[in-house]
Amino acid sequence: MTTLVIAEHDNAGLKGSTLNTITAAAQCGADVHVLVAGFNAGAVAQAAAQVVGVSKVLHADAAYFADGLAENVAEQVLAIAGSYSHILAPATAYGKNILPRVAAKLDVSQISEITKVDSPDTFERPIYAGNAIATVQSTDAVKVITVRTTGFDAAAATGGSAAVETIAAVADSGKSAFVSREVAKSDRPELTAAKVIVSGGRGMGSGDAFKVLEPLADRLGAAMGASRAAVDAGFVPNDWQVGQTGKIVAPQLYIAVGISGAIQHLAGMKDSKTIVAINKDPEAPIFSVADYGIVGDLFEIVPQLVAELG
C-alpha cells in the first residue's frame, strides 16, 4: 500500500499541518509520497524530501497552482490517484476544500478529521462536538481522509532523504480564478501552531478589555484566541476563534479567561496539554476540563499573574 499526502504550503515552505498529516499517513501504509502542487515551489519539494518517513516527493509546477485553487489541485490529485490506496490532507481550510472534490470524483466516501489510525482501513474520529469517538471502517478501494492535526505528532522535518520527481501538471481547469486574499498580520505566533494560547470569552465584556490579556500573552510568547461568543459580539476578529466552528488547537498551555466552556469551544481546545481556566462562576463547564482553575475576577487575577511572571 502506498499513501499520498497533499502538502499544504505557501510556495516557500511547508505548513506545519503537513508534518502531522505525514505521521498519520505513515500509520496507513508502508510508503508515503507527498504531492507538492505549486508555482516556483522547488524549495517546498526539497523541504518535503527531508521529512522523516517520506519516500518520494511528486512536484507539479504551474502558475495556476500558485494560490492553491481547489479545482486545480484536485485535478492534479485525480491524475495520479490510481497509484494510491490512501489519499490524505490536513483538516484545514486547504485540505477541506480539496479532498471532498477528490472523493466525489472517485465515487468514494470521505473520512473526515481522523484522530487515530487503528489499521489501514479503520480510523477514529470525533463526533457530537468531540463528546464521542466513532470508529469507522472503510471498504473503499481508495481511502480519502482529512487529518485533525492535533491528533498526531508532527513528523521530524529533517533527517529524511526522499527522491523528488517532477510530474506533468494537469491543465488549468478554468473553473475558478484567484481574486484576492486578506491576511491578518501579527507579531504573535500563528494560533494553530502556537505552544501557548491565551483566550478570552464573553466574560471579557468588551473588545477593549482584551487588552488586559496582552501583557500575559507577551510574557508567555503566546498567541491570542477567543470563544465564538466573543467573536460574535464583535470583541475580536474572526481569525481568533477557537472551537468546533473555529480553529482546533492543542498547545502545551491553554489559558481560558472569562470563557464559560460551551461544548463547541471545548471541542476545539480540550486536547491541550495543560489547561488553566479563570472564571468568576465556579460552576462554569470550563472547569470540567481544566487542569488548574481560578475562581475570581479576571480583571484582578490576570494582572496578578503578569506581576508574578515578572
Are residues 129 and 120 in contact, defined by beta-carbon separation less than 8 angstroms?
Answer: no
Q: Known binder of ligand: residue 125?
A: no
Q: Known binder of ligand: residue 244?
A: yes
Write out the H or E segment, with its range, that includes residue 177. Answer: none
Q: Known binder of ligand: residue 227?
A: yes
Torsion of Cα atoms, 8 then 126 then 128 then 17, to 10°: -20
Q: 270-304 burial string, b = 16+ CB within 10 Å, else e?
A: bbbeebbbbbeeeebbbbebbeebbeeebeebbee
Q: Known binder of ligand: residue 259?
A: yes
Q: Known binder of ligand: residue 245?
A: yes
Residue type, 298: L
Q: Known binder of ligand: residue 263?
A: yes
Q: Any residues with CB less than 8 A from the CB of 223 and at least 6 apart, and which?
A: 188, 189, 190, 191, 194, 196, 197, 198, 217, 251
Q: Known binder of ligand: residue 72?
A: no
Q: Known binder of ligand: residue 228?
A: yes
Whole-angstrom distance, CA of residue 40 vs CA of residue 283: 54
Whole-angstrom distance, CA of residue 86 vs CA of residue 306: 48
Q: Known binder of ligand: residue 264?
A: yes
Q: Known binder of ligand: residue 27?
A: no
Q: Known binder of ligand: residue 55?
A: no
Q: Known binder of ligand: residue 59?
A: no
How far, in Å, are 116, 172, 201, 225 from residue 149 at the CA level?
Answer: 10, 30, 24, 18
Give the three cell numbers for residue 15: 505548513
Whole-angstrom distance, CA of residue 282 vs CA of residue 293: 9
**β-strand partners of 86:** 3, 143
Q: Known binder of ligand: residue 87?
A: no
Residue type, 113: E
Which positions make up the binding site?
A: 202, 227-228, 241-245, 258-265, 279
Which positions make up the binding site for FAD?
A: 202, 227-228, 241-245, 258-265, 279
